[in-house]
Amino acid sequence: MSYELLGITVLWIFLFGYLIVASIDFGAGFFSYYSAVTGKRHLINNIIERYLSPVWEVTNVFLVFFFVGMVGFFPDTAYYYGTALLVPGSVAIVLLAIRGSYYAFNTYGTNKNNRFYMLLYGASGLLIPASLSTVMTISEGGYIEEHAGGRLTFLYGKLFTSTYSWTVVLLALVSVLYISAMFLSYYADRAGDRNAFEVVRKYALAWSGPTILSSLLVFFAIRNHNPVHFERMEHYAWMFVMSFACFLVAVYQVWTRKRLGVGFVFVILQFGFAFFGYGAGHMPYVLYPYLTIYDNFTSEPMAIALISVFILGLLLLIPSLYLLMRLFLFDTKYVQGKRGK
Amino acid sequence: MLLSGYDPVMYSRILTGLTLAFHIIFATIGVGVPLMIAIAEWIGIKRNDDHYLLMARRWARGFVITVAVGVVTGTAIGLQLSLLWPTFMRAAGQSIALPLFMETFAFFFEAIFLGIYLYTWERFKKKTTHLLLLIPVVIGSSASACFITIVNAFMNAPAGVTVKDGKIVDISPFGAMLSPAMPTKVSHVLVTAYLTCAFVLAAIAAWSLLRGRNHIYYKKALRLTMMSAFVFILASAVIGDLSGKYLAKYQPEKLAAMEWHFDTTKQAPLVLGGILTEDNEIKYGLEIPFALSILAHGLPNAEVTGLNDIPEDEHPPLYIHYLFDLKMAFVAVMVFIAGAFIFLLYRKRSAAFGNKWMLRGIILAAPLAMMTIEHGWIFSEVGRQPWLLRGIMRTNEGATTSDHVDTMLIVFVLLYAVLAVSSVTVLIRMFRNNRAEDEIAAKGFKGGDE
Considering only CB atoms, which chain B residues are within 8 Å of A114? none
In a domain, B448, yes or no: no
For residues B139 and B37, membership in a common domain is answered with yes
Chain B residue with the nearest C-alpha to that of A97: B72
For residues B409 and B377, membership in a common domain is answered with no
Interatomic CA distance for residues B73 and B24, integer angstroms: 9
Chain B residue with the nearest C-alpha to that of A58: B111
Type of residue numbered B69: V
For residues B20 and B146, membership in a common domain is answered with yes
Decide: A19 and A168 in contact? Cβ < 8 Å.
no
> Is A78 in Cβ contact with B93 (below 8 Å)?
yes
> Is A105 in Cβ contact with B105 (below 8 Å)?
no
Averages of pLDDT over runs of 10 residues in chain B (450 residues) are 65 91 93 93 89 90 89 89 86 83 86 84 82 91 92 84 75 82 90 94 91 84 92 89 82 81 78 74 75 76 80 82 86 88 83 82 91 89 79 75 83 92 88 80 69
> Is B100 in Cβ contact with A101 (below 8 Å)?
no
Considering only CB atoms, which chain A residues are within 8 Å of B75? 60, 63-64, 93, 96-97, 100
For residues B365 and B304, membership in a common domain is answered with yes
pLDDT of residue B192: 93
Measured in angstroms, the CA of B353 and the nearest CA of chain A are apart by 30
> Nearest Cβ partner of B114 from A57, A73, A92?
A57
Chain B residue with the nearest C-alpha to that of A337: B119
Q: Which residues in chain A come in under a pLDDT of 50?
A: 341
Measured in angstroms, the CA of A307 and the nearest CA of chain B are apart by 10
Q: To probe the interface with A, which of B25, B79, B125, B405 has the most A CB atoms within 10 Å? A: B79
Measured in angstroms, the CA of A131 and the nearest CA of chain B are apart by 14
Q: Full-prediction pTM beyond 0.90?
A: no
For residues B256 and B152, membership in a common domain is answered with no
pLDDT of residue B2: 45
In a domain, B66, yes or no: yes
For residues B240 and B146, membership in a common domain is answered with no
> Is A310 in Cβ contact with B97 (below 8 Å)?
no
Tens of pLDDT, residue by residue over A145-158, are: 777 766 777 777 77
In a domain, B176, yes or no: no
> Is A54 in Cβ contact with B118 (below 8 Å)?
yes
Work out how many CB contacts closer than 8 A connect A with B: 234
Measured in angstroms, the CA of A267 and the nearest CA of chain B are apart by 24
Considering only CB atoms, which chain A residues are within 8 Å of B70? none
In a domain, B445, yes or no: no
For residues B192 and B332, membership in a common domain is answered with yes
Chain A residue with the nearest C-alpha to that of B434: A110
> Is A93 in Cβ contact with B76 (below 8 Å)?
yes
In a domain, B98, yes or no: yes
pLDDT of residue B41: 92
Chain A residue with the nearest C-alpha to that of B422: A105
Quote the number of domains for chain B.
2
Chain A residue with the nearest C-alpha to that of B97: A72
For residues B23 and B58, membership in a common domain is answered with yes
In a domain, B315, yes or no: yes
For residues B125 and B262, membership in a common domain is answered with no
In a domain, B447, yes or no: no
Q: To probe the interface with B, which of A105, A156, A316 has the most B CB atoms within 10 Å? A: A105
Its domain, for residue B426, covers: 1-157+403-437
For residues B375 and B415, membership in a common domain is answered with no
In a domain, B212, yes or no: no
Average pLDDT, chain A: 81
For residues B102 and B141, membership in a common domain is answered with yes
Q: To probe the interface with B, which of A286, A299, A341 has the most B CB atoms within 10 Å? A: A299
For residues B93 and B27, membership in a common domain is answered with yes
